[in-house]
A and B are shown apart, each in its own frame.
Chain A
């Protein structure tokens, strides 16, 4: 098999989601397309996180993790698992992902599969131990996802300014959702 469908996303850790969003949307003109927020599902020491995506053309995205409680002086390389900084290859369909799963396993690789909110991914390691992800969409993203991501980021920036937790972020998000519906 030949992999030829490009990169879905490359992910990094951020300590300043506000500046990150401003840079990628205003300087680079990329669109904020999706934002995942989760409590208790991240690395052991930093289980509460926000994971957001900017589309930079075609199926390719730049992604960032914000971990509640992780300070900038704590290098993410040492404090969070390597999975936080990773490259995800793009599969157009679930059928493609299934074929690659079978192919990689047939080559003797250990392949783990996880269904996420809007994508399904497989994870495996290259010979250097670098984590690779390969991912296919569960459904297309739409304008509603974009608006939701913008509200999540606004809530995150406000919560971060207060020194708040993911709980506080979700409370602020609720206020934004109520205000938008008025």
Chain B
């Protein structure tokens, strides 16, 4: 099963897409959003995304498929169910 993170195509969220794809996640175009997909889990470290706090803590605003196994100041981890 794949974990999925949906990211609105807005400039403030672009670093999330960059960090996830650099880590090997796939992208799927969904119009207003990019779906970031990976078998097992998606793991994004905040230091890799380099995001300001306001955007980081709202990083899943576009939605997700899977469970949040970690989401704190260090990392966002979505695990496939």
Contact = CB atoms under 8 A, between A and B. Distances in A.
A181 B61 contact: no
Contacts of A39: 57-58, 60, 68, 71
A148 interface: yes
B22 interface: no
Given A115-B52, A167-B67, A38 B62 contact: no
Contacts of A181: 30-31, 33
Given A40-B72, A115-B54, A180-B31, A152 B61 contact: yes
Contacts of A176: 63
Interface string B41-81: 00000000000111101101111111110011100000000
A117 B54 CA distance: 6
A99 interface: no
A144 B32 contact: yes
Interface in B4-18: 4, 6, 8-12
13 contacts: A40-B57, A40-B71, A41-B53, A144-B8, A144-B32, A145-B10, A148-B62, A171-B63, A175-B65, A177-B6, A177-B63, A178-B35, A181-B33
5 tightest Cβ-Cβ pairs between the two chains A and B: A173-B63, A174-B63, A41-B57, A181-B30, A38-B58
